[in-house]
Amino acid sequence: MNLGNVDIIEAVMDNLPVGVFVKDASDDFRFVVWNKKQEEITQMSAATALGKTDEQLFSKEAAELFRSIDEDVLNSGKLKKIPQESIRTKAGKRYLRTLKLPMNDPTTGRILLVGISEDITESVETQKELERLSERFNATSRELQETQNQLFQAEKLDSIGRLAAGVAHEVKNPLAMLLLGVDYLDGGIAEDDPNIPVILKQMREGVTRADSIVRGLVDFSSQSAIERKKTRIRDVFNSTLLLVKHELVRANVKLRLGIADGLPSVYLDVPKFEQVLINLILNAIQASGEQKKKEITITAQTERLKNVDPDEGARTLRTFRENDLVVVVRIQDNGTGIDPDNIDKIFDPFFTTKATGEGTGLGLSITRKIIELHDGKLQLKNRTDEVTGTIAEITLPTRLGNTANIKSPKSKTEDSD
Amino acid sequence: MPKKILLVDDEAGFTQLLKMNLERSGSYQVRIENDSLKAVETAREFGPDVIILDVVMPGMDGGDVQAALADHPMLRSTPVIMLTALVESSELPSDSVAQAGENIVLPKPVDINLLTRAIEEAIV
């Protein structure tokens, strides 16, 4: 098509927002067209570029790459898109998105290579900056996660310190049984002694008991990132109560346990959830104070959520929905309850009513954080029935939330409980 | 006539094994009470020559039981041997056999020979 006016074509070329260049494949790919935008992108004038080859204008590496693409385009006879390539210019590195296509000049019979380049430097650099920022964000987030884990661990070590004497006491009783068994057997064994089977049974039980309590403590002490597995609530209570049993006995607190039958499994990080229960039970023991008949009641049951606060999600990272099936664990003591002046502060980090050196003041804030990592909710309130005291209420979802800390929820072994 | 020993400890397995060990020689007749709240009543009925008391028990602890025994005219003078699995070193006697007031305190796990010696000393 002949527009009949070369000036118009040139004007169009020079006003295009993309770089346009044409190489003559019949003449060593020398440039024959180089528009204004191409001058701007490459920081090279048409006067410099025209009549030259890539090798004369660009680095050897770039020139070789361009040539190979050019040959590829000519051989295939098809248009080729190069999503991103780079050149060095006086103004620095530029990123280009380029289209190359072969063309025959009908008048001269020359084979031409037409290129159209768009300068995408800005968006590539923005992208790179975004990647750098995202990497930094991830690193910071990992660091925070790590710090949080260390904080959890520090608080856990504090509980272990409080439990250690009791746990040792619990281990000493089975050890005492073993020693008595050994003493008996050491005194000579008559074949028909009816005590022998009883003694062996008790010794075996002693070993099992000592083993389970030591293992319980080791499992509880393990430091790891939060990892939730399908768990039966009853099992967590069994392992937890083994660790706090001695504290209850020593404080002369009567424990009433009411775990409903057939509770649905919940997704728990067992050591971290034990940490929560231990913390709340030790608090309840302390709160029982000087009452004559100290009593802690622990219940677990399913409930349907009613009157869900629509703003809940903003604070707890998860929105409980109306009518959701949840497992509710309540730990109630019959102490004096929480001072109304303190009720808004109890979850604040470092808030404590205990003497300096007793507790870190982080217990409840960490306990609540762990529950939130389980997509659950922890509330502390005063009892409103005829008895004074505190209720710690844990609400756990029975369906999976969106958090990523669930360990292979679809795995078959997890499901068979 | 075998001496009568009352064993008050909530650990049923432990008391069973201790009874077997003590009765083996034929020198002792052992009665077990696993419920510390019934300790005084059982002691009154049984009339032991010596009472072996665990320190940490649910209901009444060893100290409470001891105080209740002291309130009772018939049991006031019955010697008491305390057994404790408490581990804080301050709570443990420094020697193998130590005197705490008038009572003997032995650590748990207890060596049966040590306990037998303590019983003999207490009864004399």
- Six-digit token pair at A335? 């102490």
**For residue B13, which residues of chain A lie inside 8 Å, CB to CB?**
174, 177, 202, 205-206
Residue A172 has its nearest CB partner, among B58, B61, B109, at: B109
Other CB atoms within a 10 A radius of the CB of residue A250 amount to: 18
What is residue A347's predicted lDDT score, i.e. its pLDDT? 81
Q: What's the structural domain count of chain B?
A: 1
Residues found in chain A = 417
- Asked whether the predicted pLDDT for residue A243 surpasses 50, the reply is yes
A 232-261 near B (Cβ less than 8 A): 246, 248-250, 252, 254
- Asked whether the predicted pLDDT for residue A327 surpasses 80, the reply is yes
CA distance B31 to B39: 11
Question: Does the CB of B13 have a partner CB in chain A at under 8 Å?
Answer: yes
pLDDT digits (tens, 9 = 90+) for A254-267: 999 999 998 999 99
Put simply, the answer to whether A183 touches B13 (Cβ < 8 Å) is no
pLDDT band at A415 (very low <50, low <70, confident <90, very high): very low
In this prediction the pTM is 0.65
The answer to whether the beta carbons of residues A143 and A266 sit under 8 Å apart is: no
Q: What 3-state DSSP class applies to B55?
A: coil
Which range of residues forms the domain containing residue B99? 3-123
Query: Of A324, A184, A201, A204, nearest to A266 (Cα)?
Result: A324
Three-class HEC string of chain A:
CCCCCHHHHHHHHHHCCCEEEEEEHHHCCEEEEECHHHHHHHCCCHHHHCCCCHHHHCCHHHHHHHHHHHHHHHHHCCCEEEEEEEEEECCEEEEEEEEEEEEECCCCCCEEEEEEEEECHHHHHHHHHHHHHHHHHHHHHHHHHHHHHHHHHHHHHHHHHHHHHHHHHHHHHHHHHHHHHHHHHHCCCCCCCCHHHHHHHHHHHHHHHHHHHHHHHHHHHCCCCCCEEEECHHHHHHHHHHHHHHHHHHCCCEEEEEECCCCCCEEECHHHHHHHHHHHHHHHHHHHCCCCCCEEEEEEEEEECCCCCCCHHHHHCCCCCCCCEEEEEEEEECCCCCCCCCCCCCCCCCCCCCCCCCCCCCHHHHHHHHHHHCCCEEEEEECCCCCCCEEEEEEEECCCCCCCCECCCCCHHHHCC
Query: Of A213, A217, A199, nearest to A170 (Cα)?
Result: A213
Please give the biggest Cα pair distance in chain B: 39
- Say which amino acid occupies A416: S
The answer to whether the beta carbons of residues B79 and B50 sit under 8 Å apart is: yes
What is residue B101's predicted lDDT score, i.e. its pLDDT? 45
- Asked whether the predicted pLDDT for residue B112 surpasses 80, the reply is yes
**For residue B16, which residues of chain A lie inside 8 Å, CB to CB?**
198, 202
The answer to whether the beta carbons of residues A14 and A36 sit under 8 Å apart is: yes
Other CB atoms within a 10 A radius of the CB of residue A23 amount to: 24
Put simply, the answer to whether B85 touches A169 (Cβ < 8 Å) is yes
We report the CATH number of the domain holding residue B36 as 3.40.50.2300
Put simply, the answer to whether B13 touches A206 (Cβ < 8 Å) is yes
**For residue B55, which residues of chain A lie inside 8 Å, CB to CB?**
none
What is residue A311's predicted lDDT score, i.e. its pLDDT? 58
Question: Does the CB of B112 have a partner CB in chain A at under 8 Å?
Answer: yes
pLDDT digits (tens, 9 = 90+) for B79-100: 999 998 875 555 544 443 444 4
pLDDT digits (tens, 9 = 90+) for A351-380: 777 665 556 667 888 888 889 889 899 999
Q: For tokens 């430097």, what's the residue?
A: A121
Mean pLDDT of chain A: 86
**For residue A187, which residues of chain B lie inside 8 Å, CB to CB?**
21, 24
- Name the minimum distance, in Å, from the CA of B84 to any CA of chain A: 9
B 30-49 near A (Cβ less than 8 A): none
**For residue B87, which residues of chain A lie inside 8 Å, CB to CB?**
165, 168-169, 172
What is residue A2's predicted lDDT score, i.e. its pLDDT? 52
Put simply, the answer to whether A180 touches B85 (Cβ < 8 Å) is no
Range picked from A22-26, A149-153, A212-216, B54-58 for highest mean pLDDT: A22-26
The percentage of residues in chain A with a pLDDT greater than 90, rounded to a whole number, is: 53
The answer to whether the beta carbons of residues A233 and A329 sit under 8 Å apart is: yes
**For residue B21, which residues of chain A lie inside 8 Å, CB to CB?**
180, 183-184, 187
The percentage of residues in chain A with a pLDDT greater than 70, rounded to a whole number, is: 90
Question: Does the CB of B23 have a partner CB in chain A at under 8 Å?
Answer: no
- Six-digit token pair at A144? 């925070």
**For residue A252, which residues of chain B lie inside 8 Å, CB to CB?**
58-59, 61
Question: Does the CB of A343 have a partner CB in chain B at under 8 Å?
Answer: no
Backbone angles phi, psi at A305, to 5 degrees: -70, 135
Put simply, the answer to whether A202 touches B61 (Cβ < 8 Å) is no
Instruction: Among A163, A171, A173, pick the best mutation site for testing chain B contact (most B Cβ within 10 A).
Output: A173
Residues found in chain B = 124
Residue A172 has its nearest CB partner, among B24, B57, B85, at: B85
Chain A CA closest to residue B113: A183
- The average pLDDT across B103-110 equals 84
**For residue B27, which residues of chain A lie inside 8 Å, CB to CB?**
none
Sorted by sequence, the CB contacts under 8 Å of residue A144 that are 6+ apart come out as: none
